[in-house]
Amino acid sequence: MFTGQRLLACVALVAHGFAVAAPVQVDSVRIATDSARTRIALDLSQPAEHKLFTLSNPHRVVIDIKPGRIVKSALPLPAGDGGVRKIRSANREDGTVRIVLDLEHPMKPRSFLLAADGQQPDRLVVDLAPIGSLPAVRRAPVLKAAPPRGRDIVIAVDAGHGGKDPGARGPTGIREKDVVLRISRRLAEIIETDPHMRAYLTRSTDRFVNLRERMERSRSAQADLFVSIHADAFRDTRVRGATVYVLSSKGASDEAARRLADRENAALIGGVALDDKDSTLAGVLLDLSQNAALSASFDVGDEILQQIGRMTKVRKQRVQEAPFLVLKSPDVPSVLIETAFISNPSDERNLSSSTYRERLAQAIFDGIRDYFESNPPPGTVMAATQRPMPGRSADLEHVIRRGETLSAIANRYDVSVRRIRSVNNLRGDKIVVGKVLRIPPTQDI
Ligand SMILES: [Zn+2]
């Protein structure tokens, strides 16, 4: 179904030429283990794209960086630690450096990039979390003392455009692809400072990545949220301010949003004459399973908008809807932030200021954090450390929002769909936007 698109993406890569990219040097490899995970950090000469996959029999995690090579000073590699029995490396003939982690037992890897910050070089970090029970906890004599278990919340940060696709351009020539990459990298770093969150960048360099790849990669990184960072442009240079979008379930809600979506979608495929009808159709079909994610998208979008509104001008006070292809992940809540109008001189000035970008990244993070603090995904450390919601003895009222489903609402309030149906005299699953639902008290277990 998507073969055509893959093919074009490959052609685009070849046309870009590998010769331009200097190999990434792996300068050192470190490993450390704590109660929650084993962490492997690679110090790199420059930011790198990488591939991460697992193999079984025996269990291994493989990290490929291309073009890349490990240098002599990085050897010998450190001995294994935690669930890692051994670390091996090889500079392969095709210009790839391959790092292999031999595991004692199957583990779940997650990787993210940290940008050089003056003290430390660019780093590729791979965290390995045990699947199932933790050996460390099993060994611990006092179970009560064990730290809360669970996985980190993963935020996919998607810097719009890149490579041959520059995006919009400001009056003084500032390019969208550059400023959104800076904001995205900063946002990822802030996310990484949170002990319970991890960032995944869909691109960490000035590189073209097509839309579907951005979504697919975020899904394989098991992202709990996909945040796409952009900057807007308009022929009327007076227009300014930030806007937060979620995917519209039924097409663009207004004409401006439709035009913008057309442009972002077109820009994102980089002017390549791409017949995307198939994937658009697939997207529409996926919408059917998308409602729960959409409801969460509205909620997280609201939180982000509130935080951005405290530090800068926002164009629309409410989360907007538009049919952005990049937001069409079936199961990952997704928002797209037009951080400012790069076509407006004062917005352009803001975007080129590192102080401003810092505040913006912080505001976006605060919104994300606010959302996940009240809606921690099951299985995460954040969910485990939160006090369980005290059982409610009284009814609540819930105003149905666009995109919500009965099951998502039931899930949120920890009651069954059946009970909501019976309290509200509902027959099926059909609910109406704006209608007030009574939410019955939680039942004692
Ligand atoms: Zn854009």
Per residue of the chain (445 residues), what is the pLDDT tens digit? Answer: 333 333 333 333 333 333 446 888 988 888 877 767 787 888 888 888 778 777 776 778 888 888 899 988 788 888 888 888 888 888 887 888 888 888 887 777 877 777 777 777 887 888 888 765 333 333 334 344 445 578 999 999 999 999 999 999 999 999 999 999 999 999 999 999 988 999 999 999 999 998 888 888 888 899 999 999 999 888 889 999 999 988 765 543 444 555 566 666 654 433 322 233 334 333 433 443 355 677 888 899 999 999 999 999 998 889 988 777 667 666 788 899 999 999 999 999 999 999 999 999 999 999 999 999 988 988 888 887 765 455 566 677 777 777 778 887 887 777 788 888 888 888 887 888 778 888 887 764 3
Q: Ligand 1 centroid vs 68 CA: distance in angstroms?
A: 30
Tell me the backbone φ, ψ of residue 66, rounded to 5 degrees.
-135, 130
CA dist 332 to 218, 219, 407, Å? Answer: 9, 7, 16
Q: Ligand 1 centroid vs 219 CA: distance in angstroms?
A: 21
- How far apart are the C-alpha atoms of 57 and 36, rounded to whole Å? 24
- How far apart are the C-alpha atoms of 158 and 154, rounded to whole Å? 13
Q: Ligand 1 centroid vs 67 CA: distance in angstroms?
A: 28
Residues 6+ apart with CB under 8 A from 365: 187, 190, 191, 194
Q: Ligand 1 centroid vs 222 CA: distance in angstroms?
A: 24
Asked whether 148 and 381 are in contact (CB, 8 A), the reply is yes
Q: Ligand 1 centroid vs 244 CA: distance in angstroms?
A: 12
Q: Ligand 1 centroid vs 288 CA: distance in angstroms?
A: 26
Q: Ligand 1 centroid vs 266 CA: distance in angstroms?
A: 10
Q: Ligand 1 centroid vs 229 CA: distance in angstroms?
A: 7
Verify cis geometry, omega within 30 degrees of 0, for the bond prior to 67: yes
Q: Ligand 1 centroid vs 230 CA: distance in angstroms?
A: 4
Query: Is the dihedral angle over the CA atoms 415, 416, 421, 423 positive or is it negative?
Result: negative
The one-character DSSP state at 378 is T
